[in-house]
Chains A and B, each alone.
Chain A
């Protein structure tokens, strides 16, 4: 398997624009996570899905952020409108049967810069 695949790797956008980040989890995994990493806050969970259903979105900072998982092999994280404080590295991760304590694997991340 190619692992968790994220796109784009880098994104530079102007404030107010819509940004869409994409993730393809490892085939067969039933949990998908979106994390954000900043110097100030470290790695923080934004939202996670189990079997394509959002389970916990309490980490989503505000209504400007939304995430979808239309099928088992694809998820998006959208920011609309984007703001400079959204600049961060966004990671997607997946695991199998997370509740049973199995290993999570991370994608290479998307480095977002909002100017």
Chain B
């Protein structure tokens, strides 16, 4: 099956800093999503981005499907951005989402 690798595993930022999270996947995909799991455990949809670039406020994401990676950018980070960020993909013959291990982000005031 498809392998999903996220980096870095852990990230500590000072409030106001910018960051880039990376997701590599081992095969072609027709679905890629970024989620934020907040400290209460909820999985919040950030982006559905099988290819191209999208922006939502301080967050943006880019997926280069031909090179099998996706990037999540967080600008001017806030303490509320803390949590775990997951990348999840779905391959051509699969119906389910396969998750990476996540990047744990801590934003310090």
Consensus secondary structure, chain A interface:
strand
Q: Is A85 an interface residue when CB atoms closer than 8 A count as contact?
A: no
How many A-B Cβ pairs are below 8 Å?
55
Encode A79-115 as 1/0 by CB contact (under 8 A) with B.
Answer: 0000000000101010000111111111011010000
Chain A residues within 8 Å of chain B by Cβ, number = 25
Docked Cα-Cα span, A101 to B91, in Å, equals: 9
CB neighbours (8 Å) of A31 from chain B are 95
Does B41 contact A101, Cβ atoms closer than 8 Å? no
Task: Tell me the nearest residue of chain A to B43, going by C-beta.
Answer: A106
Does B95 contact A55, Cβ atoms closer than 8 Å? yes
13 A-B Cβ contacts within 8 A? Answer: A42-B102, A43-B86, A44-B99, A45-B98, A98-B31, A98-B90, A98-B95, A100-B30, A103-B31, A103-B33, A104-B33, A106-B43, A111-B41
Known contacts A42-B102, A93-B97; 8 additional CB pairs below 8 A are: A45-B97, A56-B95, A91-B43, A98-B31, A99-B95, A106-B35, A106-B43, A108-B41
